[in-house]
């Protein structure tokens, strides 16, 4: 399974938010810590709703936390 | 290890115990020819009903025991029981794997019947397919949780 084409700055945002733990972020958005880990490592793409919730925790816009990495042009 | 992964591990253990014990009894009865009588299908059906009931009891016991042992082993008095969107996605994919494997068992059973095998043999094949499907689905979920496949 290829990694989802969405990068994120969650780890940086957590650090900037007073070194928020993954567990604390998970509790705020209602998911497991393992899901936050998977999102941070770009192993899982969150739903749009969850992505908005994560961005809202840090007081940022969606595009400031998540970035879509388009696939290269097909030969 | 989150709640749904713990459930998957518990389910694999419970399924293995259930099908080894009850499946072994059904296999033994098949080999002994107990189902090769006029009353054979009815006896087979009763043994499968016992398998289903016993499986439910074993699953409940194993699941509870696994959760307790996990909490003790990891010193987590209040483990999380959250099921989130990622768990739902992994569960859905696990069900797909289960359906594929169980369907293969059904198709094999139909082929067996078409080639002249008896009903009990075909029914046992369906049973094995369902057992394999259940375990395969849970193993797939564990693999996704562990290795992000």
- Reported as a single tens digit per residue, the pLDDT across A56-73 is 999 999 999 999 888 766
Cα distances (Å, whole numbers) of residue B91 to A23, B4, B141: 22, 8, 7
B3:A32 CB<8 A: yes
Q: Which residue has the tokens 């969606």?
A: A62
Q: Which of B128, B109, B143, B148 is nearest to B23 (CA)?
A: B128
Of B2, B85, B149, the CB nearest to A34: B2
Give the pair of three-digit tokens for residue B99. 């359906």
Phi, psi for A8 (deg, rounded to 5): -150, 165
Cα–Cα distance, B145 to A35 (Å, whole number): 10
Nearest CA in chain A to B144: A1
**Closest approach of A19 to chain B, Cα-based (Å):** 22
Which of the residues B8, B79, B84 would you substitute to probe the A interface, choosing the one with the greatest number of A C-beta atoms within 10 Å? B84
CA gyration radius, chain B: 18
* DSSP β-bridge partners for residue A67: A7
pLDDT for B81 equals 84
Cα distances (Å, whole numbers) of residue B7 to A55, B2, B20, B49: 30, 9, 20, 24
What pTM value is reported for the model? 0.85
- Reported as a single tens digit per residue, the pLDDT across B18-77 is 989 998 999 899 999 999 988 999 999 999 999 999 999 999 999 999 989 989 998 887
């Amino acid at each position: 399974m290829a990694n989802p084409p969405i990068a994120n700055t969650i780890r940086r945002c957590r650090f900037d938010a007073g070194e928020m733990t993954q567990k604390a972020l998970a509790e705020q958005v209602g998911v497991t810590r393992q899901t936050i880990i998977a999102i941070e490592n770009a192993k899982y793409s969150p739903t749009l709703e969850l992505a908005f919730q994560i961005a809202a925790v840090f007081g940022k816009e969606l595009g400031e936390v998540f970035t879509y990495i388009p696939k290269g042009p097909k030969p | 290890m989150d709640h749904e992964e713990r459930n998957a591990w518990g389910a694999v253990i419970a399924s293995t115990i259930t099908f080894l014990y009850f499946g072994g009894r059904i296999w033994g009865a098949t080999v002994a020819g107990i189902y090769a009588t006029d009353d054979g299908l009815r006896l087979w059906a009763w043994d499968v009903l016992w398998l289903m009931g016993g499986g439910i009891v074993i699953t409940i016991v194993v699941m509870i025991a696994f959760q307790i042992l996990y909490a003790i082993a990891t010193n987590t008095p209040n483990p999380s029981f959250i099921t989130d969107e990622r768990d739902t996605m992994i569960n859905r994919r696990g069900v797909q794997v289960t359906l594929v494997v169980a369907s293969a068992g059904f198709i094999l059973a139909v082929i067996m019947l078409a080639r002249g095998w008896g009903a009990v043999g075909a029914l046992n094949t369906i049973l094995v397919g369902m057992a394999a499907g259940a375990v395969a689905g849970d193993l797939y979920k564990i693999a996704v949780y562990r290795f992000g496949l």
